[in-house]
Structure 1
């Protein structure tokens, strides 16, 4: 295979991968899963911005983001009760075959969010490791790496 063919083949894989990654879910159940995860990511981004100093500390915004994280963490077991069926889902089927473990991991996020002290940017920074760790623990086990 010559260099031009290799380059074209690689480009096609990149485009196909991007198209797959940008596929939007159509199953309402999967859309619910994804919307919940986007909400958690948004609240985490607000808090993470304050923790890193890239966003000014705002007590009201920090409290709201914390409250949203706590609420969303509690909703994970409710929203994910049904698996849904959609190729755009980033969820591994192991969620439903290892349900109890999945719920334990979801509850760990709620525990970390509840313990988060949002009184200052420094206190947020001190607690975000536990929040991020809970997210990472669940995603490592139950999220497809392609999404």
Structure 2
């Protein structure tokens, strides 16, 4: 869980700062995923009181946006100075799609959490799905 918090802290891309509209669309989707993870992280870490409705809503939004990830990366475009996607993403498109699907599935699993333990059990795999993709495909 600490690794997930560190991962969140390292994610500093501003929403939609790119000039390229394809890159900007990616930043918007990924930014919405990140903002919802930031809503869940304090709950999972015990830094905020558990709120089932808030956790469920955030997980559901992450799942919704995760489903959009392959679509916003369809166009190979990473020459914008704000682009953070590696060429490997498009070179390994099937793997990238699998990783996006894993994020969606992990977030869907959390969309019905009703306890702190359930939240913590769902948060780890979701954060792991983020990390596995970012490790390989993000600058």
Q: Do these two structures clear the TM 0.5 threshold for a shared fold by scoring above it?
A: yes
What do residues 64-106 of structure 1 show as CA deviations (whole Å, max 9, x unaligned)? 1011011011100111111223121111111111111100010
Paired residues for 1:13-24 under 5 Å = 24=17
2:41 paired residue among 45, 48, 57? 48
**Structure ID, larger Rg:** 1
1:142 aligns with 2:121: no
Tell me how far apart the structure 1 counterparts of residues 90 and 101 of structure 2 sit (CA, whole Å): 16
TM-score (norm 1): 0.78
Unmatched 5+ stretches in structure 2:
1-12
Unmatched 5+ stretches in structure 1:
1-20
Shift of 1:59: 2.1
Runs of 4+ in 1 over 3 A off after TM superposition: none
TM-score (norm 2): 0.82
1:122 aligns with 2:117: yes
Question: Which residue does the alignment assign to 1:105?
Answer: 99
Shift of 1:134: 0.5
Question: Which residue does the alignment assign to 2:52?
Answer: 59
1:88 aligns with 2:88: no
CA RMSD of superposed structures (Å): 1.6
Shift of 1:113: 1.0
Shift of 1:122: 2.1
Tell me how far apart the structure 1 counterparts of residues 117 and 137 of structure 2 sit (CA, whole Å): 31
Query: Does the Cα contact within 8 Å between 1:30 and 1:83 map onto a contact in 2?
Result: no
1:38 paired residue among 19, 26, 31? 31
Q: Give the length in aligned residue pairs.
A: 123
Question: Which residue does the alignment assign to 2:8?
Answer: none
